[in-house]
């Protein structure tokens, strides 16, 4: 059974870079589409983007200028960076696997989520 776990600092200062890692266990990530999402009271659930284990990325245009994703297949990990953060980036951040099969895509496995607060 695949499991996902987010990790990273819970507090980031304004204008700095938010960095999170999603560690995947129970399956190799080579063929994964791994999405990052976030949830805040003001904006609900927001899709940040996805990365495939091959390195292909697709970012939400609303965040594209500040976001970068990467993958380390040796460690079975995906990473997220959000640059120049503001208080509006305060949210619970999730990683989730998106399944692309004979059905339309869906998120079938999620990490537990990690709260990131942007504050000085």
Partner 1 sequence: DIQMTQSPSSLSASVGDRVTITCRASQSISSHLNWYQQKFGQAPKLLIYAASTLQSGVPSRFSGSGSGTDFTLTISSLQPEDFATYYCQQSYKTPRAFGQGTKVEIK
Interface contacts to partner 1, rule CB under 8 A? 35, 44-47, 49-50, 58, 60-62, 94, 96, 98, 103-108, 110-113
Angle at 109 between CA 54 and CA 90, to 5 degrees: 90
CB of 61 to partner 1, least distance (A): 7
CB of 50 to partner 1, least distance (A): 8
Q: Which residues pair with 83 in a beta bridge?
A: none
Q: What are phi and psi of 16, to 5 degrees?
A: -90, -175
Q: Which is nearer to partner 1, 61 or 120 (CB)?
A: 61
Q: Which is nearer to partner 1, 87 or 106 (CB)?
A: 106
Q: Which is nearer to partner 1, 49 or 116 (CB)?
A: 49
Closest listed residue to residue 17, CA positions, set 68, 59, 73: 68
Q: Cβ distance 22 to 111 under 8 Å?
A: yes
Q: Which is nearer to partner 1, 17 or 106 (CB)?
A: 106
Quote the CA–CA distance of 108 and 112 in Å, as a whole number.
13
CB of 28 to partner 1, least distance (A): 21
With H, G, I as helix, E, B as strand and everything else as coil, classify residue 49.
Answer: strand
CB of 74 to partner 1, least distance (A): 26
């Amino acid at each position: 059974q695949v499991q996902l776990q987010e990790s990273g600092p819970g507090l980031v200062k304004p204008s700095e870079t938010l960095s999170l890692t999603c560690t995947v266990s129970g399956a190799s990530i080579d063929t994964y589409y791994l999405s990052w999402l976030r949830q805040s009271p003001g904006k609900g659930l927001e899709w940040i983007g996805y990365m495939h284990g091959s390195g292909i990325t697709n970012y939400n245009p609303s965040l594209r200028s500040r976001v970068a994703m990467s993958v380390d297949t040796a460690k079975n990990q995906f990473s997220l960076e959000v640059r120049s953060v503001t208080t509006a980036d305060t949210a619970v951040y999730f990683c989730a696997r998106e399944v692309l099969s004979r059905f339309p895509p869906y998120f079938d496995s999620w990490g537990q989520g990690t709260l990131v607060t942007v504050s000085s």
